[in-house]
Amino acid sequence: MLTVYHYLGLSAILFALGTYGVLTRRNAIVIFMCIELMLNAVNLTFISLSSYLNNLDGQIFVFFVMSVAAAEAAVGLALMIAFFRNKESVEVEDFNLLKW
């Protein structure tokens, strides 16, 4: 029998994979994609619980998460371009001006 726990488990795995990516990758765009992955893992949790509880609120929330993700993508990628223009690189090690 397919239960909500299956979905939650999958969500956990995807979230962990996203975390792993964020922590290990050097390319900012890939990190960005990993963040999207994490967001999607969370979305999956929302929708599965929403379906399980017969309550649409969770799905509405996903909707907003998506709009935030979209906004984030637009601004984040624009930042990436601006950064690349200055540094000829998108590696996060080069994003180190903001330090002591």
**What is the DSSP code string of 39-58?**
HHHHHHHHHHHHHHHT-THH
Q: CA-to-CA distance for 66 and 25, rounded, in angstroms? A: 24
- Window 48-77: contact mask with another protein (x via CB under 8 A): xxxxxxxxxx-xx-xxx-xxxxxxxxxx-x
Question: Contacts with another protein: how many residues (CB under 8 A)?
Answer: 82
Q: How far is the CB of 55 from another protein (least distance, A)?
A: 3
Torsion angles phi and psi, residue 99, rounded to 5: -140, 180
Q: 58 and 46 in contact (C-beta within 8 Å)?
A: yes
Positions 18 through 37 that interact with another protein (CB under 8 A): 18-34, 36-37
Residue with token string 């890939």:
30
Please report whether residue 87 would count as binding another protein according to CB under 8 A. no
